[in-house]
Every structure is written in C-alpha cells, then in structure tokens.
Amino acid sequence: MRGAVPLGWEPYYQTTHCTMAEPKLNYVSCPDAGSGHRMAYWEWGDPEASHIVLCVHGLSRQGRDFDALAQTLVVRSAAPLRVVCPDVVGRGKSDWLADPQGYQLPQYASDMLALLAQLQPATLDWVGTSMGGLIGIGICGQPALPLPAPVRRLVLNDVGPVVQWEALVRIGSYLGRAVEFDSVQQAADAMWLVSTGFGAHTAAQWLELSRHMVKPLHDGRAGVTLHYDPAIAMPFRTITQESAAQGEALLWQLYDGITARTLLLRGADSDLLSTATTQAMVARGPHAHLVEFAGVGHAPTLIAQDQIDSVASFLLG
C-alpha cells in the first residue's frame, strides 16, 4: 500500500480491533418496476434485538463499509443491539436491476421500507453516509410512511439537502467505469487515487475497506473487478446543474419534516457539503448537532476512533 496511503500517515489513526465473528448475510425481497429483486444486508450483534441501527452506505460503496462502527456499537451497547448494513441494490451481494433507471432515490427508499418491514424494529436509529443520508432524509422527513417504528436518532454523514455541483462532477468522472485489477492490492491502490478525500488511513485500514469493494471476475480469469453494476452511473449522468438545484427545495422540505434527533458529521474539507448548507442544517429543521473532522473531505469513513466515538456516543448515550 505504499503507493496508495502516503507514508507518514499511519501514526494518526489506529485500526479498531474486535474479536467478533464476521457478520451474517441475509436477504429481503423488494418490489420494482419489473419482477422484483433481492437486497442483501449484513447483520451484527443480537439477531433477536428489538433495537436496530440501520447503516446505509454511499453511492458506489457497500454495507461492509460499516464493519468497524458496527462492531464498536455492539460491544459498547448496554442492551441487546442489532446493527444492519444493507448493500443497496446494484451493489455488493444485492441483485442488479433490469432497468438501470431504477437506480435512484425512490427505489432505494422503497427497498429500505421493505427491509424494515421484514426486520420489525421496536427502536430504530439510522446512520447514512452520503447517498445513505439522502435516503434517510427522504424516509425520516415523511412521518406518514409505514415504518415499524419512527427513526429515533439520525446520523447524516457529510450530506445535506444541497449537494455541491463540483462534487457531482468529480464523482461522475469515475463512477461506472468497468475496470479490472490483477489483485485486491492493485484495486486498493487505484481506488485511493479517487478517494483521498476520505482522509488519513493506515495501509491496513484502507486494504480492509477495499477488499469488500471488489469481486472475482465472472469468467473465471484471475483478478477482480468493482463490486457494483456499472449501470448505476446511468441515471447519475442525466443530472444537470439545473435539475440538481430543483431538487434542493424538496430535500429542504423533507429535512424540515425530520423529528428524529439528528447528528451531522462533516469532513472539514468536504467538497460535497458546504459550510453554508451545514449552518442552515444546524439552524432549521431538526437543528442538527454538528461535528466536524479536520483533515477529512467527503466523506468520513467512520473508521478513525474519533469518528466512531462521535457516532457511538450519540446513538448509545
């Protein structure tokens, strides 16, 4: 990883160690415009716990991003806790959609409702990174939705109703490329080039994050490719600066409808969540409590101990 993580960064963060086993993989059937699909989700903790923390990842990521956070929450919780981390459709172990135009927030929100209907939590918290936060805003901002339990506490990780256009352009420059790598290490090195905004990570931390981002080539050749359906980029590429601005009013309306206690995390160098949007989110709606992380852009990976501690204290305090 010498080519991926700059030398000298390792002392800043320590890997979170935990002796827990791997998470359990489960599936939920979800309706769509076609014949339906299965969404995979990873479970940590007590499978019978009525308190569920739902962790939803970013646009090109997958549910194993939350391994370190999930393990810490389970260990620190004084009561039985289940942490559920879905692979949003088109990612990870989930099915791919027959119609790529379904790769948009309404389908993602519908899938989360199907998941929650299957899980039936009595107490529900939500952690959403980037896209996962937007899904959370959409669900938490509509009190009439058929949730088994209202979202009690909401963590929005580096996202808000206004997404900076420059960040969308940056993400669009690499999203959906069908690339192959000789090894997980080579993939990790390549992904670091477009992920430096995540902030300092040790070589071990970045490799652990990266190994879940790839899968073996389907034709039996040696090597790996990215875990997601390249077609997730198709609806994303239809976004214009004008359409993005038009969506802001609806997102603000949803944000103002949130009643859950809300924690807003921001990378101090984020190019997606501006300072002006952050200030507005603190001043209106659920009046989010803000925590910023120096030396981090978009988005905090919730692996560094200070990031984990902020979320754990908020959810379990």
Give the class (CATH, top level) of 16-172+244-316.
alpha beta
pLDDT tens-digit map of 275-308: 999 999 999 999 999 999 999 999 999 999 999 9
Q: How far is CA 150 from CA 78, 190, 279, 311, in A?
A: 21, 40, 26, 19
Per-domain residue ranges of the chain:
16-172+244-316
Provide the mean pLDDT of the chain.
Answer: 91
* 8 Å CB contact between 28 and 118: yes
Instruction: Give phi and psi for 105, each to the nearest 5.
Output: -55, -40
* 8 Å CB contact between 42 and 63: yes
Tell me how far apart the alpha carbons of residues 297 and 300 are, in angstroms, rounded to a whole number: 7
Q: How confident is the model at residue 21 (pLDDT cuts 50, 70, 90)?
A: confident
Percentage of the chain modeled with pLDDT above 90: 85
Specify which residues 225 forms β-bridges with: 180, 215
Q: How confident is the model at residue 20 (pLDDT cuts 50, 70, 90)?
A: low
**Can you give the pTM of this predicted structure?**
0.92
* 8 Å CB contact between 102 and 90: no
Give residue 264's pLDDT: 98
Does residue 255 carry a pLDDT above 50? yes
pLDDT tens-digit map of 161-203: 999 999 999 998 889 888 999 999 999 999 998 888 898 899 9
Q: Is 29 helix (H, G, I), strand (E, B) or coil?
A: strand
Element (H, E) at 266: strand 261-267
Q: How many CB atoms lie within 10 A of CB 266?
A: 28
